[in-house]
Amino acid sequence: MNRFVAASIGLTLWAAGLTIAEQPRKKLREESMPSSRFAEAHAPLFQSATPNHPGALTERVVPALKGALPGSGVSCPPRNFVDSHIFGKMQRDGVSHAPMASDAEFLRRLKLDLTGRIPSAEEVQAFVSSTDPAKRDRLIDQLLESEAYVEKWAYFFMDVFRANGKMGRGQNLFHYWMKENLRVDRPYDEVARSIMAASAKSNHVVAASNVIAREHVQGKPQPDDGNDLGMVQQLDTHDELATLYAKTFLGVNLSCVSCHDGAGHLEKVNVWLSGKTRSEFFQNAAFLGRSRYLMYWENGKPQSGEFLIDDHNPGYDTEGPSMLRVPRSGGASNPAFILTGEQPKPGREPREELGRLLTAHPQFARASVNLFWARLMGFGIVEPYDEFDLARLDPRRLPPGWDAQPSHPELLEELAADFRKNRYSLRQLFRTVCRSNAYQLSARFDGEWKDAYTKYYARKFVRLLSAEELHDAIVIATGRPGSFKYGGDKVDLAMKLSGPSGSGDLKHFMQTFGQSNRNNPPKPLAPSPLQPLLLMQSPVVTERVAGEKESRVQRLLAAHSDNSKVVDEMFLATLSRAPSSEEKQIALDALGQDRQAGAQNLQWALLNLVEFFFNY
């Protein structure tokens, strides 16, 4: 078995003597990689020391990054108010920052962040060679208007709302609706209000009602008749929805106070919540008290995932039974918004009033911008994004003994104000963040990195690609599309789907890389040694690098007699950069010994480099 080593990045590229196309598909790829070299090559994935800490993870990954190095760090002129806050704080505190990312790094980063896809070889060449000084801003605008942007962020929202089979056929309808919202850049506050106030004879007809259908708590296995309210545990469903709306739209976790008062439990965790009572939670949930959830049934059997949702229940019973929580303790049952105590206006529908009060409160804008900032910048100004302590937002008025919770309180407030001024436009929010020099910093940092620099956003923080991004990156790099069913259509990329799909090797691959099952809220992926093993051995990878079935390897070998062109394009299409002189010579030697086997093994090796499965 031949091997070629990319010594400049400390990783091993292995060239198998047996062509990949000849290997049995269901067997593990035979490799002679020593365990020490395997651990070295994939250390950034599963070293145990604070694996999810963005600064520590970035420090481990950066030595594996190649390509054109950016220039040395210099003071970046502010491009907008984001930079004024980020670089202003660093300057005040004497913290240095990384240099600007190279064009190739920026292109790959932005495409993954906004569309979930890596760029093509042609896109890399065109962008890097362009002399247009406004090319980065133009690219941002172009991607924000693309269908790929719509698909990426629709999938994100499907994960956020855990859209799965509990919606029945409404899952695809809700996905379509979210894509339409994103296409027209519908104000985000309108989307939130539509979800909270949705009514429907069937959630298979009214898209927004599917979030409510998803959160239903089933009360018993069979109905007594078509009007059996016990099929859905009405009160528990109210509570689940009240908790979901607070976490998703306010960044506040009411789970604890849904069971007991905050006093005596939360003083060391969340000052604001420690002052909240279970009775106040009941009153907040009481906005939903008139909501009625009826499961459809035919011939004495419930129809999976189909619900009627209207407002004909008598109201919230603060002494009613619960299947999920400790017994309810009684108290006031009139609706009152938990952040302000405000009650619905007379004659107004309480659910609509909850939507009005919630989206009009400044915390809605704060929580929203913080959520999307975290997706673009690596972590939130408040972290975790759904654990705001509302007593610690203003550094001028802090509880004794506590620090401010936001890393940049003034930036958070200005982002929220700008979000409101621009009618809650997600596109404008993304545009503002991505155009900033703070977003465009390199992951590479000159000099000694200190953990304390992390909270300053002094560099770009790497992240492991999501399962869907990784699958689609492999598809794009190899030119071998996926094959998924979506309704009556076939689609080639996982990010185009409304939810997880596939079985066998594909399902195992996606789950190992953290694909959400949507039964529980999304959470950061835990690094595992199984992840690099699958990148090396899964048919999801190995079958796509074979020189057959119109793969990139097959097409490149047929199109170019010059091996140099084959190597260059494969690097551009897979890593979004040209090879170093050493990498190129190693690859050319491999292709010179056996052209097809060398090309296949080069493609496989590039997919296994750390820089491929991280966004930086």
Q: What is the pLDDT of residue 586?
A: 96
Judge if the upstream peptide bond of residue 78 is cis by omega within 30 degrees of 0. no
Number of Cβ within 10 Å of residue 379's Cβ equals: 23
pLDDT tier at 522, thresholds 50, 70, 90: confident
Q: What is the pLDDT of residue 10?
A: 30
Rounded Cα gap, residues 174 and 202, in angstroms: 13
pLDDT at residue 349 above 70? yes
Listed range (55-69, 199-213, 487-501) with the worst mean pLDDT = 55-69
Q: What is the pLDDT of residues 363-409, one digit of tens each?
A: 999 999 999 999 999 999 999 999 999 999 999 999 999 999 999 99
Exposure string of 452-490, with b = 16+ CB inside 10 Å and e = fewer, is ebbbbbbbbbbbbbbbbbbbbbbbbbbbbbbebeeeeee
Residues 101, 442: contact at Cβ < 8 Å? yes
Tokens of 607: 């997919």
Number of Cβ within 10 Å of residue 540's Cβ equals: 22
Q: What is the pLDDT of residues 554-611, one digit of tens each?
A: 999 999 999 999 999 999 999 999 999 999 999 999 999 999 999 999 999 999 999 9
Q: What is the pLDDT of residue 45?
A: 45
Q: Any idea of the CA torsion for 244, 247, 250, 254, to the nearest 10 degrees?
A: 90
Residue 381: HSE in the Cβ half-sphere, 13 Å Cα cutoff: 26
Q: What is the pLDDT of residues 21-57, one digit of tens each?
A: 333 333 334 444 444 544 454 444 444 334 458 999 9
Rounded Cα gap, residues 501 and 490, in angstroms: 12
Determine phi and psi for 151, rounding to 5 degrees.
-65, -40
Q: Domain-by-domain residue ranges, the chain?
A: 3-69+463-480+526-615, 186-360, 362-424
Exposure string of 348-370, with b = 16+ CB inside 10 Å and e = fewer, is ebbbbbbbbbbbebebbbbbbbb
pLDDT tier at 487, thresholds 50, 70, 90: confident
Q: What is the pLDDT of residue 14?
A: 32
Q: What is the pLDDT of residue 286?
A: 98
Residues 284, 173: contact at Cβ < 8 Å? no
What predicted TM-score, i.e. pTM, was given to this entire model? Answer: 0.91
Tokens of 430: 């993304």
Question: Percentage of residues in the chain with pLDDT exceeding 90?
Answer: 81
Across residues 506-516, what is the average pLDDT? Answer: 94
Q: What is the pLDDT of residues 108-167, one digit of tens each?
A: 999 999 999 999 999 999 999 999 999 999 999 999 999 999 999 999 999 999 999 999
Residues 590, 19: contact at Cβ < 8 Å? no
Question: Beta strands 292-298 and 614-615: pairing type?
Answer: unpaired
Residues 589, 13: contact at Cβ < 8 Å? no
Residues 181, 187: contact at Cβ < 8 Å? no
